[in-house]
Each structure stands twice: as C-alpha cells, then as structure tokens.
Amino acid sequence: MKYPSICSIVATGALLAALAMTATVVTAATAKTPAAPAAATAKPAAATAKPAAAAARDEWPDTRAGAIGRGWVAAFDSGEKAIVDFYNREMSAQNLAKKPAEQRLGHYREARERFGKLTLGEVVASAPNEVQVTLIDSDGASHKFTFTLESEEPHKLVTVTMLDHQHGHGFGGFHH
C-alpha cells in the first residue's frame, strides 16, 4: 500500500514566485512504505472538515480568506492589469514593500503560460484567515493552493502556497 510522505521545502518566492507572489512552496513526494499505523496516517479533524459556510454561488467559503482566494483566481484569469490591481488592493503592505505588484508580472506571465486559467475544484479546509483549495488548470490538472491572510485587521493577503505532488523519488521543487 502506498502512503504519501510529505516532505516540505520552504522557499520564499519559489514556485509561487512564478505565481507572482512572495510564497511558500511545499513539495510532496510519494514513496512506497510499509503499512503505517492508523494514527500516523489520520488527518487532523480541522484539516479534513469541510467548511460550514460556503457561498452558494460558487462554493468559495463565506470568509475573508475565501473572498481573497476567489478574487485572486478571478484576477489571475483576467490578465496583467487585473492581477496588478488585485495585488495593490489586497496584498499586505509588508509584501508590497518587498516587491511591488508591477515587479511580479514576469512570474505571473510564466504561471499563466503554465496553468492557463484556474477554476475552483474543491474547498479542502477553511478558517477565517486561511483557505485551502484545489484549483483546476486549463488542462484539467488539479493543484492544491492555500491562501493565508494577516491575523490582524485589515486581513490582507500574506502568502499563496502551492502543494505540488510529485511521484517517485526526489523533490523536483524550486528553492530560492
């Protein structure tokens, strides 16, 4: 039986720098392991629970994090002007000071070429300042994203994280 083994590589600006944000990239490698005890493979209830409040229109959670995630995907799909406007409006001042929205366009272009447009596939978990979702790209491939907001008002976007699954050995992720 195969169990996913999650190995994390934390890299600011890594793969999601390709998504035009200061980001954390986590790469998971799948390896063949002997049967593991149930407690070792069980997911915490909070990580597996479906969000209670979902916007009926499109299934994004009815939270600030859900609104930010929805807005990011809409801006990503709409083009360069929309994504720059989104960053300037919704990203934390600290992240914009490190890298202004206009400087993120090169990475945005690479990501748009890689993914095409993105649509919500599933909400994996939701909290007031974080939402984990599966987004589907233009080729039908799914990608796990987490949108994390500041814990204090005005709850601006801090990071977008992508969990990129790779099968076999090695990491295959980016590290900057």
Domain borders along the chain are 2-33+50-167
Is the pLDDT at 156 greater than 80? The verdict is yes
Other CB atoms within 10 A of residue 80 CB? 16
Does the reported pTM lie above 0.75?
no
- How is residue 162 written in tokens? 């992508």
Tell me: the pLDDT tens digits for 18-72?
Answer: 343 433 333 333 333 334 344 333 433 343 334 434 433 479 999 999 999 999 9
Given a contact cutoff of 8 angstroms between Cβ atoms, the answer to whether 12 and 22 are in contact is yes
* Structure-model confidence comparison of residues 169 and 105, the more confident one: 105
What separation in angstroms does the CA of 95 have from each of 74, 89, 112, 113, 131?
Answer: 20, 12, 21, 24, 19
Is the pLDDT at 118 greater than 80? The verdict is yes
Lowest mean pLDDT among 100-104, 132-136, 139-143: 100-104
Class at the top of the CATH hierarchy for domain 2-33+50-167: alpha beta
Is the pLDDT at 92 greater than 70? The verdict is yes
